[in-house]
């Protein structure tokens, strides 16, 4: 148990790779781009990621789940009013000042960018989990009485995933934030009881 110590920080390097994947897309990110951003050489890279780019992406997915999504999940699971938290979150998503930016959803992008079936499925199942997180939060809200819609949490959770999927792309096309706010208001009003289908 000795050996030359790593000169780089594994998590920081991984985060840099994630940035590249997110910004350029999976297929556009060459090994060279990734190595450069990660600040390591080929020797270190293929030692740490014997599977090359696919393995790096797999680890990136896990890191995005653990790092970027974990906080959001915790809020959904613990906040007093999940419905309000969800609404706030979506409006944050279209705020031009928000750090979320114009990069889209890491997993949604991946599903539409990656040809490799294994990686594509992995990204798709993460998206599905986001839907499940919405659903679970809504179930809790239903019990607590803050979800007043008569629709089932399952259907509403999928609706929110669909809204999530849509808005990430739509906001790249429609720059009028006021209009985006209007459609969010409409879509989120489906969680309220006053809206009868």
Give me the residues that bind a second copy (CB under 8 A), please.
24-25, 27-28, 104, 108-109, 111-113, 115, 124, 127-128, 131, 151, 154-155, 158-159, 161-167, 169-170, 172-174, 179-180, 182-183, 185-187, 189-190, 194-197
CB of 12 to DNA, least distance (A): 12
| Burial degree of 137 (CB within 10 A; 0-12, 13-18, 19+) | buried
Q: Which residues, at least 6 apart from 139, have a Cβ–Cβ distance to it below 8 Å?
A: 153
- Asked if residue 115 binds DNA (CB under 7 A), the reply is no
CB of 38 to DNA, least distance (A): 10
- Asked if residue 2 binds DNA (CB under 7 A), the reply is yes
Task: Decide whether 40 or 147 has the Cβ nearer to a second copy.
Answer: 147
- Selection from DNA, a second copy, none that 24 binds (CB < 5 to 8 A by kind) is a second copy
Contact between 17 and 56 under an 8 Å Cβ cutoff? The reply is: yes
Question: What span, in angstroms and rounded, lies between the C-alpha atoms of 85 and 57?
Answer: 30
Dihedral (CA of 161, 163, 166, 168) sign = negative
Contacts of DNA in 23-62 (CB under 7 A): 30-32, 40-44, 46-48, 50, 52-53
- Asked if residue 160 binds DNA (CB under 7 A), the reply is no
Contact between 88 and 188 under an 8 Å Cβ cutoff? The reply is: no
> Per CB under 7 A, which region of 2-10, 101-109, 110-118, 126-134 contacts DNA?
2-10
Task: Decide whether 112 or 144 has the Cβ nearer to a second copy.
Answer: 112
Q: Using alpha carbons, list the distances in angstroms from residue 85 to 26, 72, 95, 112, 162.
A: 31, 10, 15, 28, 17
- The number of residues in the chain equals 197
Q: Which of 1, 97, 173, 178 binds DNA (CB under 7 A)?
A: 1
**Which residue reads 């992995």 in tokens?**
122
CB of 112 to a second copy, least distance (A): 5
């Amino acid at each position: 148990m000795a050996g030359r110590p790593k000169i780089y920080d594994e998590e920081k390097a991984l985060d840099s790779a994630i940035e590249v994947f997110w910004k350029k897309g999976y297929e556009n990110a060459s090994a060279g781009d990734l190595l450069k951003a990660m600040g390591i050489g080929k020797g270190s890279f293929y030692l740490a990621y014997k599977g090359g780019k696919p393995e790096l992406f797999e680890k990136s997915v896990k890191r995005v789940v653990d790092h970027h999504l974990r906080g959001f999940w915790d809020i959904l699971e613990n906040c007093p009013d999940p419905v309000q938290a969800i609404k706030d979150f979506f409006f944050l998503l279209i705020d031009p000042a928000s750090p979320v930016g114009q990069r889209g959803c890491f997993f949604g992008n991946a599903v539409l960018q990656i040809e490799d079936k294994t990686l594509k499925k992995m990204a798709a199942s993460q998206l599905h989990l986001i839907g499940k997180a919405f659903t679970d939060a809504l179930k809790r809200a239903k019990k607590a009485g803050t979800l007043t819609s008569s629709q089932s949490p399952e259907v509403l959770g999928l609706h929110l995933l669909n809204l999530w999927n849509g808005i990430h792309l739509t906001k790249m096309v429609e720059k009028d934030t006021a209009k985006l706010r209007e459609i969010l208001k409409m879509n989120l009003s489906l969680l309220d009881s006053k809206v009868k289908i």
